[in-house]
């Protein structure tokens, strides 16, 4: 079963376009978890168990685990998701990008070691830096296109000879040349709805991973209307901090569930 | 002491512009190391000890360690280099690139956990994805500009409105705006000497990390002449596979040393 078909099944079974980002920051953890050697796993496990019927994907951000020497807890977390919530695919957010021989190692890290269903990658080094991942035909590859941070414009919004912006060129490259087996998706930030609509027009019904709502301030209605496909799906709308740190007490997972539910339902209002 | 001053000291004390890349691939290890739980550390340690008087930098590629669940061996390796060969700075080759909050986590990973002297990063997400690393003022940041792989041209060689190529724009951004404290360097592949000369003209005496000689086929004479600064330095010319896997027997480190010595001396012939 391909990443795309698993994602489509999760859109439907959970009636959700919400991707729950897992960015574990010890400083923001509830007091009762602090100091536990498995705090990272336990925090994320509780969030996952509380939101698994509301999400179309989970997206652990590897930097947060790596900074804490918690790779083993990331492995355990993804194993837990596959075992308990097999309907929800896992996107490993690592934004890898390197030459072919090195990309093969990153592919082994993401797809064999961590058993991720999809991986985010950076397009700057071109197609041969992306190609090795495509050998795992049941996995997805989500290419950075237009990112939600202010500095995203420094390169992505540059105008090319011919009048197009760099991010538009990346969208077209991925849709037409970098996706021989239907494994590709794109990252497009919610902070720029017009550009999201733009990318949607270029790439047809390719899935889009959309960070930037919640803590980063993107507007949900504008985002969904700009990015949805004709059937009202096509999106993984990602929220991390607003869900993870909704509560500070022992009931943090319930608080997270409440925000996830409200966000899912708000998104669904605009699916058309 | 800044990364740049440490690098300049190593250029001088070891009379070398050679950066030894550490890409440990178990399939290529000598037979006597295979099956040892610390094989990755032992292989790299032997290479490091055999070449430390010939190198201006060591460059471990984190993907090779991550694919093998060998983060602990990478930590031990860098600790060993700092303890035994403090004159040789360590460049962690990880090509990170993410929004500010995530970049802070990657900075902790590279500079606190691994104690790297410098880190490679990807410019696609713009300045605010680079800025968090600059808070570690004694560390260096090496930004991808023109990479040595064939696909490097897919984006980097695109022509912008105004006639410049994207890699030239990145070179200028880094030299003029992304380097407030003198921490920046650039990655420019040896496979394109004319473009190396081009970048050198744009960035003055910024250090350049140059992969692509050795296994990737870049020409040493053309590379050094195109990239050197007026004083015959300014370069970290990186070679990995040609050195690491020069020998297959128990004397693999001696074989590596011989290739490193020949490469260093060949580079030195063209420093002018």
Q: What pLDDT, in 10s, does the model give residues B2-22?
A: 999 999 999 999 999 999 999
**Range with lowest mean pLDDT among A31-35, A40-44, B115-119:** A31-35
Q: Structurally, how many domains does chain A consist of?
A: 1
Give the pLDDT score at B134: 97
Give the pLDDT score at A216: 66
Classify residue B35 as exposed, middle or buried by CB count within 10 Å of its CB (0-12, 13-18, 19+).
exposed
Checking if the pLDDT of A217 tops 80, the result is no
**Among residues B42, B11, B10, B15, which one has the least CA distance to residue B29?**
B42
Strand partners, A172: none
Given A64, A71, A125, which is nearest B149 (Cβ)? A125
Catalytic residue among B28, B34, B59, B95: B95
Checking if the pLDDT of B218 tops 80, the result is no
Residues of A in Cβ contact (< 8 Å) with B96: 63, 95
Given A124, A126, A158, which is nearest B160 (Cβ)? A158
C-alpha to C-alpha distance for B142 and B164, rounded to whole angstroms: 22
Which CATH number does the domain housing residue A107 bear?
Answer: 3.20.20.70
C-alpha to C-alpha distance for B241 and B231, rounded to whole angstroms: 29
pLDDT digits (tens, 9 = 90+) for B144-173: 999 989 999 999 999 999 999 999 999 999
Checking if the pLDDT of B272 tops 90, the result is no
Q: How far apart are the first and last CA of chain B?
A: 28
Residue among A40, A65, A66, A159 with most chain B CBs within 10 A, to mutate? A66
Indicate if A95 belongs to the active site.
Answer: yes
Does the beta-carbon distance from B159 to A160 stay under 8 Å?
yes
Residues of B in Cβ contact (< 8 Å) with A125: 144, 147, 149, 151-152, 155
Given A64, A126, A147, which is nearest B125 (Cβ)? A147
**Dihedral, CA atoms, A133, A135, A139, A143, nearest 10 degrees?**
30
Label residue A41 by pLDDT band (50, 70, 90).
very high
Order across the sheet with B235-239: list the strands: B57-60, B18-22, B235-239, B208-210, B184-188, B140-146, B118-121, B91-96
Q: How far apart are the first and last CA of chain A?
A: 28
**Measured between CA atoms, how close is A87 to chain B, in angstroms?**
26
Order across the sheet with A91-96: list the strands: A57-60, A18-22, A235-239, A208-210, A184-188, A140-146, A118-121, A91-96
Label residue B224 by pLDDT band (50, 70, 90).
very high
Q: Is the dihedral of CA B87, B88, B89, B92 positive or negative?
A: negative
Instruction: Output the six-digit token pair for A62.
Output: 């590897």
Strand partners, A18: A237
Checking if the pLDDT of A58 tops 90, the result is yes
Residue with tokens 């602990």: B72
| Partner B contacted by A63 (CB < 8 A) | yes
| Partner B contacted by A3 (CB < 8 A) | no
Give the pLDDT score at B215: 64
Of all residues in chain A, the percent with pLDDT exceeding 70 is 99
Residues 75-104 of A with CB under 8 A from B: 95-103
Q: Which domain holds residue A244?
A: 3-269
Average pLDDT value for chain A: 96
Checking if the pLDDT of A64 tops 80, the result is yes
């Amino acid at each position: 079963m391909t990443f795309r078909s698993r994602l489509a099944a999760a859109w439907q079974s959970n009636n959700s376009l919400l991707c729950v980002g897992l960015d574990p920051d010890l400083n923001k953890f509830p007091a009762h978890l602090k100091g536990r050697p498995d705090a990272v796993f336990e925090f994320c496990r509780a969030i996952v168990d509380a939101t698994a019927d509301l999400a179309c994907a989970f997206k652990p951000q590897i930097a947060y685990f790596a900074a804490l020497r918690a790779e083993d807890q990331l492995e355990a977390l993804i194993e837990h998701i596959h075992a308990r919530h097999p309907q929800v695919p896992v996107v490993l957010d690592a934004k890898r990008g390197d030459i072919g021989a090195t990309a093969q190692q990153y592919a082994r890290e993401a797809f064999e070691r961590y058993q991720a269903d999809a991986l985010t990658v950076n397009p700057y080094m071109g197609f041969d830096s992306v190609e090795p991942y495509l050998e795992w035909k049941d996995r997805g590859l989500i290419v950075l296109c237009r990112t939600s941070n202010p500095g995203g414009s420094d390169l992505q919004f540059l105008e090319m000879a011919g009048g197009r912006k760099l991010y538009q060129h990346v969208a077209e490259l991925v849709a037409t040349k970098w996706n021989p087996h239907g494994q590709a998706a794109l990252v497009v930030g919610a902070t720029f709805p017009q550009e999201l609509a733009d990318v949607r027009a270029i790439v047809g019904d390719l899935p889009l991973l959309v960070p930037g709502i919640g803590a980063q301030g993107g507007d949900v209605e504008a985002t969904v209307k700009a990015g949805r496909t004709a059937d009202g799906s096509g999106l993984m709308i990602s929220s991390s901090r607003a869900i993870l740190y909704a509560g500070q007490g022992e009931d943090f997972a319930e608080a997270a569930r409440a925000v996830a539910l409200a966000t899912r339902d708000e998104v669904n209002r605009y699916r058309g």
